[in-house]
Amino acid sequence: MTTPIEYTLTSTLAAASSAAPQPDPGFLAAVRRRRRRRQRRTTILSACAAVLAVVATVAVVDQFKPVPVQRFGHLLSPDRIPDFFNLAPPERVWPDAVHRLPAKLPDGSDYTVVDVLGDGRYLVADVRPIDESAGPSVFHPASGTVTALATSAVTAGLAEARLLMARGVGDRVVWFVDARRNGKSARELWSAPVAGGAATRLAATKTGPGTFSVAGDTVMWEEPRGAGYDGVVIRRVAAAGGPVTDVPGSTGYWLTLDGPWLTSKYTGTPFPDEPQDRGDLLNAVTGERVPWTANPKIAAARCGPTWCGGTGPYGLAALQDTNGGGYVELKDGCSLYPAMGGRLAVGLLYSQPIVWDRATGRASVLTYNMGRDRGEPVVQVWPAPGALMVLDLQAIA
């Protein structure tokens, strides 16, 4: 990983090369080549970050239903990697997992889908440029009904509301909302029956990293506690209500993109005294721990229990085993990360959202993803002429 000292040294040498005597032209040429490689890598990473910011404008939690670890053996060998330049759309790859919905809600408003609830019902969220939604709604296209879940218990005294996440948990829906309540900043977790009815406030939380998850029938989130990169703990509460508690042993851990796993470290941390190349994963449901080590070539590694994704030295997407071996670079930029117990790889290759089923080797590309995901998504959503298309990742077979 490049350090500020390396950047300073490289820049100084390159700037002085035209004015100072050149005792070894080969040495200075190597410096210039290294600088150009870094500039190219920075450009690619900046472009990827910009695309990710557009795709994830408003956050929705990653799905943490207990998914068994999919241990397929070593599937990162080049002969198991799809041709990402020639992928079919999801409706051709996984037709049974794709839903075609009306382009707009019955009242003519735009929306996006954040979860598939079953029985022809979908959990939907507003997509207005300025989100003033205190909660999600349940849309039943067959009957043309839309049921708002944020009852007066939620909206009374609430202003400047911003929906952070929403997810179906059994026969209930849970969601986080940022707002001002009676003139004071508030972040609250609410729950309501899928069929509609009284909403229940599960927790009032501190503003922090803003990542949320669902593990079984409980909701988890990151909450600041102390200073530094490790000054965070994972909190949880049952979707039906009850006491708010810490996940045991979760101080200094962060939610991953592959639930229900937590991670103790991420590479690329800005804190110089923190280890950047290794850590361990903690299963918030079973307590199992899995160590991981970042390959020296990979940057910003994000790990699940069987493999990690990140970015290689020249901005290309890179994959590795959790022990740091099996390093593979793809032929495109940005990153893919494990989801659904490591079975799926999801993310961006340049500007295109990718879903890759590592169990079967099949993969698909979306022309555009209008989801609202922060973390592991459970659906991928994209517009089509006169329709809104939804890929239910849990239904991929």
The DSSP annotation for 297-352 comes to T-EEEEE-SSEEEEE-TTSEEEEEETTS-S-EEEEEEEEEEEETTTTEEEEEETTE
| CA atoms of 323 and 292, how far apart (whole Å) | 5
Percent of the chain whose predicted confidence (pLDDT) is above 90: 40
pLDDT, average across residues 33-55? 42
Give dist(CA 116, CA 167) in Å, integer: 9
Q: Select the highest-mean-pLDDT range: 65-74, 81-90, 274-283.
A: 81-90
The more confidently predicted of residues 239 and 276 is 239
Q: Euclidean distance between the first and final Cα of the chain, in Å? A: 38
pLDDT of residue 397: 81
* More confident: 144 or 22: 144
Beta partners for residue 380, in sequence order: 391
Q: Determine, yes or no, domain membership for 22.
A: no
Residue 271, domain extent: 27-395
The pLDDT, as a whole number, for residue 36 is: 41
When pLDDT is averaged across residues 300-320 and rounded to a whole number, the result is 88
10 part of a folded domain: no
Q: Let me know if residue 143 belongs to a domain.
A: yes
Say how many domains are in the chain: 1
- How many CA atoms does the CB half-sphere of 21 hold within 13 Å? 1
Average pLDDT over all residues of the chain = 78
Distances (CA, A) of 121 to 54, 99, 145, 217, 264: 27, 11, 10, 20, 37
Reported confidence tier of residue 47, pLDDT bands at 50, 70, 90: very low
**Greater model confidence, 49 or 386:** 386
CA 137 to CA 115: how far, in whole Å?
Answer: 11
Count of Cβ atoms closer than 10 Å to residue 79 Cβ: 6
> For residue 7, is it within any domain?
no
Q: What pTM, to 2 d.p., does this model score?
A: 0.78
The pLDDT tens digits of the residues spanning 251-276 come to 988 888 677 889 886 554 544 455 56
Domain-embedded: residue 42: yes
Query: Is the pLDDT at 20 greater than 80, yes or no?
Result: no
| Closest CA relative to residue 124, chosen from 194, 189, 191, 187 | 194
Beta carbons of 258 and 338 less than 8 angstroms apart: yes
CATH classification at residue 370: 2.130.10
* Predicted pLDDT of residue 335: 85
What is the percentage of the chain residues whose pLDDT exceeds 70? 71
- Kindly state the average pLDDT of the residues 217-229: 82
Amino acid, res. 251: T
φ/ψ region of 60 (left if φ > 0, alpha if ψ in -120 to 50, else beta) reads: beta
- Residue 12 belongs to some domain of the structure: no
Sheet holding 278-283, edge to edge: 254-255, 261-263, 278-283, 289-293
Q: Which of 112-126, 202-216, 325-339 has the lowest mean pLDDT?
A: 202-216
Query: Which pair of tokens denotes residue 174?
Result: 């849970």
pLDDT of residue 136: 94
Whether the pLDDT of residue 307 is over 50: the answer is yes
Give residue 148's identity as a one-letter amino acid code: A
State pLDDT tens for residues 352-379. 889 999 888 899 998 766 655 454 578 9
What DSSP assignment string belongs to 186-227? EEEEEEEETT----EEEEEE--SS--EEEETTEEEEEEE-SS
Residue 324: phi and psi, rounded to 5, are: 95, -10
Instruction: Tell me if 215 is assigned to some domain.
Output: yes
What is the mean predicted confidence (pLDDT) over 168-178?
92
Would you state the pLDDT for residue 65? 38
Rounded CA separation 73/306 (Å): 9
User: Cα–Cα–Cα angle for 230, 231, 232, nearest 5°?
Assistant: 95
| 46 within domain boundaries | yes
Residue of 306, 300, 299, 298 whose CA lies nearest to 281: 306
- Smallest CA-to-CA distance from 329 within 307, 314, 344, 342 is with 314
